[in-house]
A and B are shown apart, each in its own frame.
Chain A
């Protein structure tokens, strides 16, 4: 079926299968930042924004984004890079495979929460797994980036 969406500020018309998942649609469209780490909505790697809200694209059927706005990290490169530099200065990037989904969640949190404390940050990001860093370096980077204690 055909759907119309706005992807990273660009109006696009896409042909998708009835059972196609958004992660596949986006990767087929050339947005390689969107990665799949599980098949059970557990890891957060495939997080993109749908109408500004962080959403798991591996469990979203593509036809459901008809008429909606999708943002991937390719659409917020400047802001993402700004945070990525803080993350890298902490050494907290490691393999980087989970980073795009993680960063999309961090940037969404920045929009959603005002001056979050440590517990709120940890809670917001609990669905984003990372096997390399042990999370603490990411937390240090987020706090530095948001300027919170």
Chain B
């Protein structure tokens, strides 16, 4: 049995001991080095560009400007076709829309020459007034995208002349009418900041032409199949001429769900016929890729005097920066992953706009809108509890959706098939010792300790859209090869998919060879995002393995000349039920691949669901606030998690701890900031503070299993939900400690101090 066991990751030893398994380790040593000339202006038009001096530099292979590249708009969003994100990019555009936007592509024999060539390109800009404050974007005199060939696959409500990328409005019941009937109403405006992914391996890719002249791109990506499609469109190349291979990935967190560097090496290889590679340095990774969408969220909650929440209304404004990658979908997720929670409400609404600004684009980042929505909604629920003089735990126990219940905001009122959220809350309350600590304990010496809590949900894959396939074949020597198109970015997804296959086939994980992902070889998978791999790809793997198992039994029965019903398959042996005859799996395996009229046994399956079952977390923070300085120390964070069945407890625990720390970073330290001209000020680890070992305090993770009937072995997702609870829980704890309500993240000592001063 493999499910539920803490099996080490199948790639652990090679990745930890420094074996050459990541993209740059595999690049050909003779690859051309690709570098990008970037815009120094937040918004400008290229009047003239002179590349002749750069081209004449010895060692420079080519220099490309907007005049040299295909003129067709595309999106880098890693989404299934047809993407809801607007096609608003060109490989190189005559208009540059943020500081760092690409102006020219240089390829040279080495890095030094390429860097030198960048300095020899002369560009004359007509500088425009940039749109930097997203609250001023709608109706701003400057229009970020004024071109007329911008294209949307769907009507997303774009009004580009007003800098509106898209609009969204969902409403169940009548919010305005219901609010009139509420005894208590709270209203508050929250701000969540842009956050950087800060994965340790920066963006990188290399490309070459294979023996048939096809383009091969090796890239650190979460979305190999989407990258292939992006390349085909942007480069106007038949998709059959492109192969994308994903080796080991040094972290992604959603950043590598957006295409970044692949097009640059690919176009160099196509134009020169030579291998080419690009490695973004940390500064480019911070300032020329994507970040989390900054948002303003106005929340209105209405309740009865007994604390029954009757209205949840969230009005949002989201900053997508210069390009609209993931703009509509991240925004709609704000509502999708918050509105179903408080299902006693008679009216629910989420609406608002996403706007263009002249800053680095926003994109997918772990939590994908749910993080922003959770901070706003849960902070408002904590405020409502205070106004009602109720314990924040009690108000949640009373109002939260339970297993078997429905919400109009959850897949048109379908019942929720699995949830242990109420148990998670009870357990967390006990572990943090809420009764002793709520709301605060004065420590003397100007320090005060307090607790706060929040709950959160995410989804498991994208309902009705994301569908994955898996193949598993019985090899000639009796082991199996599992082919999937998903990406293990370090989460251990290859390992747990192998565990699932091993469980069905009653064998050990060692007998499963996992191949992921190579678009020439792997069955289609949208990629590893939207918390989909365990749930969506996992179910495809389970079904494929079940099909293969049935074939093994069927052919075993034939060889043993009995009926299928008489075969007992023990993983390594097929026996007749009376024990009179048997056949080893190895024997069956080679007999199936050798000789005439045989058939190598393969199981294949495809899975996608029309619901996206949510995992849940109850998060509890204990902080110590220094009343003299406003400094907040996180002492303890308790997260009790419902991800359905836990497939691999150790990997799940680390995944949770890592996600919590990313959430703690969002709550207390991380902030992508710009100066008044649109230059990013936080483009290195000196100015952009991700948590280090000393910043996080103690973390306790406990799983409270439920059973999701539509998931493999009862499993739901885990990857994203883990990031959402720290910010609202810590904000609540800070308020409980010193009575300062911080509604704009991150919760810095300055904000707490100023709050104390102005009280």
Given pairs A96-B250, A98-B250, 12 additional interface contacts (CB within 8 A)? A32-B22, A32-B25, A35-B201, A37-B202, A38-B282, A88-B8, A91-B649, A94-B654, A95-B199, A97-B199, A131-B690, A135-B661
Q: How far is the CA of A73 from the CA of B8 in the complex (A)?
A: 21
Report chain A residues within 8 Å CB of B9.
Answer: 88, 91, 93
Does the CB pair B654–A96 fall under 8 Å? Answer: no
Interface size class of A (residues with CB under 8 A): 35 or more
From A73, A128, A131, A134, contact of B654 by CB (8 A) = A134
Does A55 make an interface contact (CB < 8 A)? no
Does A9 make an interface contact (CB < 8 A)? no
Q: CB within 8 Å of A: which residues of B?
A: 6, 8-9, 11-20, 22, 24-25, 112, 197-202, 248-251, 253, 281-283, 489-492, 648-655, 657-662, 684-686, 690, 692-694, 696, 699
Does the CB pair B696–A77 fall under 8 Å? Answer: no
Does the CB pair B249–A95 fall under 8 Å? Answer: yes
Can you offer 20 A-B residue contacts whose CB atoms are under 8 A? A32-B18, A32-B20, A33-B18, A33-B19, A42-B684, A73-B17, A84-B16, A85-B13, A87-B12, A94-B491, A95-B489, A96-B11, A97-B15, A97-B22, A97-B199, A99-B15, A100-B18, A132-B658, A133-B657, A134-B662
Does A72 make an interface contact (CB < 8 A)? yes
Q: How far is the CA of A31 from the CA of B101 in the complex (A)?
A: 34
- Look across to chain A and name the residue whose beta carbon is closest to the beta carbon of B112: A17
- Most chain A CB inside 10 Å of its own CB: which residue of B489, B657, B684: B657
Report chain B residues within 8 Å CB of A51.
Answer: none
- Look across to chain B and name the residue whose beta carbon is closest to the beta carbon of A90: B650
Does the CB pair B282–A103 fall under 8 Å? Answer: no
From A37, A77, A125, A134, contact of B200 by CB (8 A) = A37
Does the CB pair A42–B657 fall under 8 Å? Answer: no
- Most chain A CB inside 10 Å of its own CB: which residue of B25, B491, B652, B653: B653
Report chain B residues within 8 Å CB of A137.
Answer: 650, 653-654, 657
Report chain A residues within 8 Å CB of B22.
Answer: 32, 35, 97
Q: Which 5 A-B pairs have the closest CB atoms?
A: A33-B18, A96-B15, A95-B490, A97-B250, A91-B650
Report chain A residues within 8 Å CB of B489.
Answer: 95
Does A7 make an interface contact (CB < 8 A)? no
Does the CB pair A40–B693 fall under 8 Å? Answer: no
Report chain B residues within 8 Å CB of A2.
Answer: none
* CB of A8, distance to nearest CB on chain B (Å): 12
Does the CB pair B699–A93 fall under 8 Å? Answer: no
Does the CB pair B18–A126 fall under 8 Å? Answer: no
Does A80 make an interface contact (CB < 8 A)? yes
From A87, A122, A132, contact of B694 by CB (8 A) = A122
Does the CB pair A74–B18 fall under 8 Å? Answer: yes
* CB of A101, distance to nearest CB on chain B (Å): 9
Q: How far is the CA of A112 from the CA of B222 in the complex (A)?
A: 40
From A34, A88, A90, A95, contact of B201 by CB (8 A) = A95
Does the CB pair A126–B12 fall under 8 Å? Answer: no
From B17, B649, B686, contact of A33 by CB (8 A) = B17
Q: How far is the CA of A90 from the CA of B22 in the complex (A)?
A: 23
- Look across to chain B and name the residue whose beta carbon is closest to the beta carbon of A128: B693
Does A15 make an interface contact (CB < 8 A)? no
Report chain A residues within 8 Å CB of B18.
Answer: 32-34, 72-74, 80, 99-100
- Most chain B CB inside 10 Å of its own CB: which residue of A80, A128, A133: A133
Does the CB pair B651–A97 fall under 8 Å? Answer: no
A41-96 interface with B by 8 A CB criterion: 42-43, 45, 72-74, 77, 80-81, 84-85, 87-96
Does the CB pair B25–A133 fall under 8 Å? Answer: no
Report chain B residues within 8 Å CB of A130.
Answer: 200
From A72, A74, A131, A139, contact of B199 by CB (8 A) = A131
Report chain A residues within 8 Å CB of B653.
Answer: 91, 137
Report chain B residues within 8 Å CB of A149.
Answer: none
Report chain A residues within 8 Å CB of B696.
Answer: 134-136
* CB of A24, distance to nearest CB on chain B (Å): 8
Q: How far is the CA of A87 from the CA of B654 in the complex (A)?
A: 11
Question: Given that A39-B281, A99-B16 are contacting pairs, would A92 and B654 also be in contact in the complex, using a CB cutoff of 8 Å?
Answer: yes
From A45, A73, A96, A100, contact of B248 by CB (8 A) = A96
Does the CB pair A95–B692 fall under 8 Å? Answer: no
Does the CB pair A93–B650 fall under 8 Å? Answer: no
Report chain B residues within 8 Å CB of A16.
Answer: none
- Look across to chain A and name the residue whose beta carbon is closest to the beta carbon of B15: A96
Does the CB pair B690–A87 fall under 8 Å? Answer: no
Q: How far is the CA of A98 from the CA of B490 in the complex (A)?
A: 11
Report chain A residues within 8 Å CB of B13.
Answer: 81, 84-85, 88
* CB of A83, distance to nearest CB on chain B (Å): 8
Report chain A residues within 8 Å CB of B693.
Answer: 122, 125-126, 128, 135, 139
Does A108 make an interface contact (CB < 8 A)? no
Does the CB pair B17–A131 fall under 8 Å? Answer: no
Does the CB pair A131–B684 fall under 8 Å? Answer: no
Report chain A residues within 8 Å CB of B490.
Answer: 93-97, 132
Question: Given that A91-B648, A96-B11 are contacting pairs, would A131 and B16 also be in contact in the complex, using a CB cutoff of 8 Å?
Answer: no
Q: How far is the CA of A134 from the CA of B18 in the complex (A)?
A: 20
Does the CB pair B16–A88 fall under 8 Å? Answer: yes
- Look across to chain B and name the residue whose beta carbon is closest to the beta carbon of A73: B18
- Look across to chain B and name the residue whose beta carbon is closest to the beta carbon of A92: B654
Report chain B residues within 8 Å CB of A103.
Answer: 16-17
Does A109 make an interface contact (CB < 8 A)? no
Does the CB pair B251–A132 fall under 8 Å? Answer: yes
Does A129 make an interface contact (CB < 8 A)? yes
Report chain A residues within 8 Å CB of B251.
Answer: 94-95, 97, 131-132
Does the CB pair A39–B12 fall under 8 Å? Answer: no
Q: How far is the CA of A33 from the CA of B9 in the complex (A)?
A: 19
Report chain A residues within 8 Å CB of B17.
Answer: 33, 73, 77, 80-81, 84, 99-100, 103
Report chain A residues within 8 Å CB of B19.
Answer: 32-33
